[in-house]
Amino acid sequence: MIMAAAPIPTRIPSGSPITIDHLSRTFTTGSTSVAAISDMHLQIAPGEFVCIVGASGCGKTTLLNIIAGLDHPTSGSIDTGSGVVSLMFQEGALFPWLSARENVELGLRLAGMKGRADRRERAMELLGLVQLTDAAERHPHELSGGMRQRVSLARALAQDASVLLMDEPFGALDAMTRDVLHDELERIWFETGVTIMFVTHNVREAARLGDRILVLASRPGRVIAEYPVDLDRPRRIESPEVSALAAEVTDCLRKEVRRHAND
Amino acid sequence: MPTTELTPDLAPDTTVAGLDKLETFSSPTASRASRFYSVLWPKLSAVVLALVLWQIVVWLGWKPTYVLPGPATVFSELRALVVNGSFWHSVGITMRRATLGFAIALVIGSVIGAVVSQSSIVRRAFGSFITGLQTMPSIVWFPFAILLFKLTESAILFVVVLGAAPAIANGLIFGVDHVPPLLVRAGRVLGARGFTLFRSVILPAALPSYVSGLKQGWAFAWRSLMAGELLVIVGNTSSLGVRLDFARTMSDAPLLLAYMIVILIIGLCVDAVFGAIDRRVRRTRGLGS
């Protein structure tokens, strides 16, 4: 591999910063209104890997939808720079009628890339990046869960996004596959320089991957705690340092959940 | 700030390849011949059973043989038919009408289905109307069609289209309604909006239901066409329906039954084509077997 041959590769954080200011989102049906997100502030550096953990009702889906441009805030502002924002789902959401390669090619076409042959070549490059060159012609139902998520990642990368939002992307995978995909994602994050916002229920996963962990409160969603992760990469999910940090974050999360017991 | 150094041992290792190999395996597929055999023998047995029952009824003497002839008589009549050029001319006339009627229904049904599925106002106005049309027996339309078009081929085509188009439209509407919202969301994240979203995501996702609609539309078209050919006799054309009616007039029971078998076989063959398309569409998506 090129990386092994290079002395010490340096990462160029080329992704966009994310600035969220006084962001609120309220859903109103009839006379009742529910605040999904209330007065949220967030500053994410270019190329940063931020993990977000929170219990149910922390408004994470709403937050991701707003950042991805699928929904609008009720008040406040959000700035993701000039680049494309991509969103990767827990279930992969691949198009079942297209092969792995065609899924990525569609991503390229919708991103405005001209030329069928060029798209094909680029799609194969991206599948190579997630180590799926051999599975390019297979359809989603012929791939394992982990492989589907990698195709999904390749498709997201096809958008040449400067911000990559990930909604519990590895939640449905077994521990071993997840471990391997953590390595893969870290490598790709390193190579592309993209900004990643990674939502997860798994606190250890957050400590394994993030530069920073943000804990969200529930109903309404807002940031209540922030943990910088000052551990060298690559980390191992079972290492004592990762476990210690995960325990700390879990305590914080547990306090937040208990607070709702007396609601 | 992000860490700017990464140690080389993070390079992709072979664990990924190993996991992929273990998690995906292709089950051995049966040979084409044995698959063909396993599909064919139940069908053949059913045909044989039907013929045996038919023969038994004839032997029991429920009706005289000039009214209800046995399979042997009918099949020798059929054998004489298929070597006759004018028979194939009749099949040609009927199939041309079927193809033309179905093609018109395909265009009209697809356009209406697309519009209704995308607009909630149009749907509220016409949605139940389309279903109503579909439940209406197409033969009810013939008196009106004859008033409108006289005894012409247009009258037949009019009813064929009215029979098939609602089924095709409904197939598409049903398909669009059942597109997983996640796929639509994924399409939007990828930057597809409006017509691009419909063409690249919604329509392909709705394809299995659409094909089912086409299959059903064909069944309706074929039924309407046969009814039409019996009711609307267009001068100087001898379609299959005309020949069937002629056989009845002549009280030629073996010929009449031979034509009925022809009509049945054509219907089954076209249905088999749609069935093959349907299976192919589903297999690509990993639906069913």
List the structure tokens of B2. Answer: 């992000």
Q: Are A28 and A175 spatial neighbours (Cβ–Cβ below 8 Å)?
A: no
Query: Taking CB atoms and an 8 Å limit, are B205 and A97 in contact across chains?
Result: yes
- How far, in Å, CA of B275 to CA of B273, rounded? 5
- How far, in Å, CA of B55 to CA of B72, rounded? 9
* Domain containing residue B205: 75-285
Q: Are A218 and A55 spatial neighbours (Cβ–Cβ below 8 Å)?
A: yes
Amino acid at B77: E
- Residue B41, domain member (yes or no): no
Q: In degrees, to the nearest 5, what angle opens at C-alpha B19 toward C-alphas A169 and A4? A: 85
pLDDT in tens, B38-79: 888 888 999 999 999 999 999 999 999 899 999 999 999 999
- How far, in Å, CA of B8 to CA of A43, rounded? 30
pLDDT range class, residue B26, cuts 50, 70, 90 = low
- Residue B40, domain member (yes or no): no
Per-residue pLDDT, averaged over A225-252, amounts to 89
Name every chain B residue with its beta carbon within 8 A of the beta carbon of A104.
Answer: none
The strand pairing partners of A223, in sequence order, are A216
Name every chain A residue with its beta carbon within 8 A of the beta carbon of B14.
Answer: none
- Residue B34, domain member (yes or no): no
| Residue with more model confidence, B222 or A91 | B222
**Residue-wise DSSP of A71-115:** S--SEEEEE--SS-EEEE-TT----TTS-HHHHHHHHHHHTT---
- Whichever domain contains B103, its CATH number is 1.10.3720.10
- How far, in Å, CA of B11 to CA of B14, rounded? 10
- How far, in Å, CA of B263 to CA of B91, rounded? 9
Mean pLDDT of chain A: 87
Name every chain A residue with its beta carbon within 8 A of the beta carbon of B17.
Answer: 131
Torsion angles phi and psi, residue A104, rounded to 5: -65, -40
Q: Which residue has the tokens 């790709």?
A: A188
Mean pLDDT of chain B: 88
Q: Are A83 and A54 spatial neighbours (Cβ–Cβ below 8 Å)?
A: no
Please determine, for residue B132, whether its predicted confidence score (pLDDT) is greater than 50: yes
The helix (run of H) or strand (run of E) holding residue A259 is helix A240-259
pLDDT range class, residue B28, cuts 50, 70, 90 = low
Contacts 24+ apart (CB under 8 A), B260-263: B261/B74, B261/B78, B262/B78, B262/B81, B262/B91, B263/B226
According to the model, what pLDDT value does residue A5 have? Answer: 47
Q: Which among A50, A102, A11 is positioned nearest to B7, based on CA atoms? A: A11
- Residue B270, domain member (yes or no): yes
- Residue B150, domain member (yes or no): yes
According to the model, what pLDDT value does residue B2 have? Answer: 46
Per-residue pLDDT, averaged over A250-261, amounts to 85
Query: Taking CB atoms and an 8 Å limit, are B190 and A232 in contact across chains?
Result: no
Name every chain B residue with its beta carbon within 8 A of the beta carbon of A177.
Answer: 19, 23
pLDDT in tens, A76-114: 889 888 888 999 988 879 999 999 999 999 999 998 889
- How far, in Å, CA of B14 to CA of B20, rounded? 10
- Residue B51, domain member (yes or no): no
Phi-psi region of A219 (alpha: psi -120 to 50; beta: other; left: phi over 0): left
| Residue with more model confidence, A245 or A57 | A245
pLDDT in tens, B172-195: 999 999 999 999 999 999 988 889
- What's the total number of domains in chain B? 1
Torsion angles phi and psi, residue B138, rounded to 5: -65, -25
- Residue B137, domain member (yes or no): yes
Q: Which residue has the tokens 């700030």?
A: B1
Q: Which among B96, B111, B35 is positioned nearest to B279, based on CA atoms? A: B35
Query: Taking CB atoms and an 8 Å limit, are B286 and A234 in contact across chains?
Result: no
* Model pTM score: 0.82
pLDDT in tens, A47-68: 999 999 988 777 888 899 899 8
Query: Taking CB atoms and an 8 Å limit, are B12 and A183 in contact across chains?
Result: yes
Q: Which residues contact A258 (CB under 8 A, 6 or more apart)?
A: none
End-to-end CA distance of chain A: 55
pLDDT in tens, A161-196: 889 999 999 988 888 888 888 998 998 899 888 999
Amino acid at B181: P
Per-residue pLDDT, averaged over B118-142, amounts to 87
- How far, in Å, CA of B156 to CA of B268, rounded? 21
- How far, in Å, CA of A198 to CA of A87, rounded? 10
pLDDT > 70 in chain A, percent: 96
For chain A, which domains are there? 9-83+162-262 (3.40.50.300), 95-160 (no CATH)
Chain B residue set in contact with A, beta carbons under 8 Å: 1-13, 15-17, 19-20, 23-24, 26, 182-183, 185-192, 196, 200-201, 204-205, 207, 281, 284-286
- Residue B223, domain member (yes or no): yes
Phi-psi region of A31 (alpha: psi -120 to 50; beta: other; left: phi over 0): alpha
According to the model, what pLDDT value does residue B286 have? Answer: 85
